Chain A
Amino acid sequence: MLDQDPILQTRGLSVYYDTKKVVTDVNLDVARNRITSIIGPSGCGKSTLLRCFNRMNDLIPSARVEGQVMFDGLDLYGHDVDPTEIRYLIGMVFQRPNPFPKSIYDNVAFGPRINGFKGDMDELVERSLVRAAIWDEVKDRLNTSALALSGGQQQRLCIARALAVEPRVILMDEPCSALDPIATLAIEELMRELSEDYSIIIVTHNMQQAARVSHYTAFLMVEEARVGFMVEFGESRQIFTNPEDERTEAYITGRFG
């Protein structure tokens, strides 16, 4: 599917909540240093699929995963894999900005401190904030509460916090749905910059956002008999101008159901 070695790969991936199947047999390749969008209607299993990539579903007692998720050759669900370590390598940014009720500085330093980071913390905090394109806005008030920031700033702070533990992949679950259009564009711009060094997977309801920001797009769907199956995967420019599957076309042109 890709013209390069994927950083993440799912094979026959299915997810159940108790006995209910919510993701069905997904084979998806995630490109390195590119942005991959997962789109689809509500309840199609996008977020569940996203959470498989850093084993966040482990935190849901009833969730069960079948099939494989490979991360650069490593089976993420292998017996000897520590999910906590995986979550450093594969970070996550959520729908609502969720900074800790701490200072801006401490938010960014939180992960590295837990990790036992021994280097220059000031430098790491600055580098992470610069990478997240928020340094100029906060450099003079690093010790003030993160909760005083605007929504868009808080979300960029959360991205800085994810970057501080030096991940290789960033998962984003509708990262802009709580933001205004200007803050949204700032995050999108940031994503494009970050994709030079990180692989990003974004779940979004906003088709225009997927079209604007991502290099690749996967379309998931739900039918009566099957839930959370992948209909089509391809380069975003192809998916949004000339999709192969008529179900994809119906969805992206807003004529679904």
Chain B
Amino acid sequence: MVRADFDRSLEELQAELVELGEIVEKAINKSMDALESRDLTMAYEVVAEDDVIDEKRFELEEKCINLIATQQPLAIDLRTLLTVLHIAVELERMGDYAEGIGKICMIIGDDVPMELPKQLPLMAKAGVIMLQGSLKSLVDRDTDLANNVWDSDDEVDELYDGVCRQIFLDMGEHPKTIEASTHFLWVAHDLERIADRATNIAERVIFMVTGRTGRYETTQEGKKSSD
């Protein structure tokens, strides 16, 4: 096998990307745990730990740039590197949303005059599953799985619409909750964006595998069917 060294670098890069994805996943889960249990220390940790995510994103970016400059990648190699670059940014932004939830948690404190809307943990759970699926589709080069991730976004959008409606109702009926409700709206928005970013990752995986952007249906012939 020629280019064994380059192949190794590409594999390492993807492993690091998956690792970054796992850190982001933990950050999302931890931010929601902090919110649900009103644990301000935990919330503070989420905010502080976002620096690690940012650093890792820039590390990955630098490695991609080095490989592009030194290896002159073409075809699947070029698409892989562009995909890693893109996904690293998506993950970093997902980390920012987790940080945002951590900050909201710190702002609203531990004395909140209302329950956490039940849709929020569901949205977070769905978003994390989408994130996991999108990264698995990357590792397995699985366009079907990437398409499934894409479909799951509808579910999160529905939960988002539902929680918004409920929060608006609460605000009208219980004006005392307006401040907390507004913060929860932001949390809902952050979670909705996390799911969108997972969709973007799935889209990039489809581009990496097929060279095309947009949705893509695979067939038994494999690589080259049209969408």
Measured in the bound complex, the distance between the Cα atoms of B6 and A46 in whole Å is 28
Q: Name the residue among B6, B78, B79, B224 with the largest chain A CB count within 10 angstroms.
A: B78
Q: What is the bound-complex CA distance between A211 and B210, given in angstroms?
A: 20
Closest B residue to A244 by CB, please name it. Answer: B224
B residues in contact with A208, CB < 8 Å: 72
A252, B75: Cβ atoms closer than 8 Å = yes
Contacts A241-B78, A242-B75 given: A253-B211 contact, CB under 8 Å?
A: no
Is the Cβ of B211 less than 8 Å from the Cβ of A242?
Answer: yes
A61 within 8 A of B: no
Interchain CA distance A256-B74 in the complex, whole Å? 13
Q: Report yes or no: B79 in contact with A241, Cβ–Cβ below 8 A.
A: yes
For the complex, count residues of B whose C-beta is within 8 A of A: 16
Contact yes or no, A253 B77, CB < 8 A: yes
Query: Could you say which residues of chain A place their CB within 8 Å of the CB of B1?
Result: 255
Closest to B224 in A: A244
CA distance A207 to B75 in the complex (A): 12
B2 within 8 Å of A (CB atoms): yes
Interface string of B56-80 (1 = CB under 8 A from A): 0000000000000000111111110
Chain B residues within an 8 Å CB radius of A244: 224
Which of chain A's residues have a CB closer than 8 A to the CB of B77? 253
User: Do residues A249 and B75 form an inter-chain contact, with CB atoms below 8 A?
Assistant: yes
Contact with A along B165-177 (1 / 0, CB 8 A): 0000000000000
Residues 199-257 of A at the B interface (beta carbon under 8 Å):
207-208, 211, 240-244, 248-249, 252-257
Q: Is B3 a contact partner of A253 (Cβ separation < 8 A)?
A: yes
Q: Is the CB of B75 within 8 A of A254?
A: no
Q: How far is A126 from B79 in the complex, measured between Cα atoms in Å?
A: 46
For the complex, give the distance between the alpha carbons of A211 and B75 in Å. Answer: 11
Cβ of B224: which chain A residues have Cβ within 8 Å of it?
244
Partner of B76, one of A207, A249, A256, A257: A249
- Whether A211 pairs with B2 at a CB distance below 8 angstroms is no
Contacts of B75 in A (CB 8 A): 240-243, 248-249, 252-253
Docked-complex contact B74 and A255, CB < 8 angstroms:
no
Q: A241-B211, A242-B79, A242-B211 are in contact. Are A255 and B3 (CB under 8 A)?
A: yes
Known contacts: A242-B79, A242-B211. The answer to whether A252 contacts B2 by CB under 8 A is no
Tell me, in angstroms, the Cα distance from A252 to B210 when the chains sit together.
17
**A253: which B residues are within 8 A, CB to CB?**
3, 73-77
What is the bound-complex CA distance between A208 and B73, given in angstroms?
Answer: 9
* Closest B residue by C-beta to A207: B74
- In the assembled complex, the CB of B70 is this many whole angstroms from the nearest CB of chain A, namely 13
Q: Is B74 a contact of A240 with CB atoms below 8 Å?
A: yes
Docked complex Cα distance between A62 and B141 (Å): 50
Residue of B nearest to A211 (CB): B74
Contacts of B3 in A (CB 8 A): 253-255
- Chain A min CB distance to B24 (Å): 29
Q: In whole angstroms, what is the CA distance A168 to B141 when docked?
A: 47
Most buried by A among B1, B79, B211, B212: B211
What are 5 A-B contacts defined by CB distance under 8 Å? A208-B72, A242-B211, A253-B73, A254-B6, A255-B1
Given contacts A207-B72, A241-B74, 17 further A-B contacts (CB under 8 A): A240-B78, A241-B79, A242-B79, A242-B210, A242-B211, A242-B212, A244-B224, A248-B75, A249-B76, A252-B74, A253-B73, A253-B76, A254-B6, A255-B2, A255-B3, A256-B2, A257-B2
Binding site for A on B (CB under 8 A): 1-3, 6, 72-79, 210-212, 224
Minimum-distance CB pairs A-B, first 6: A242-B211, A252-B74, A254-B3, A240-B74, A249-B75, A253-B77
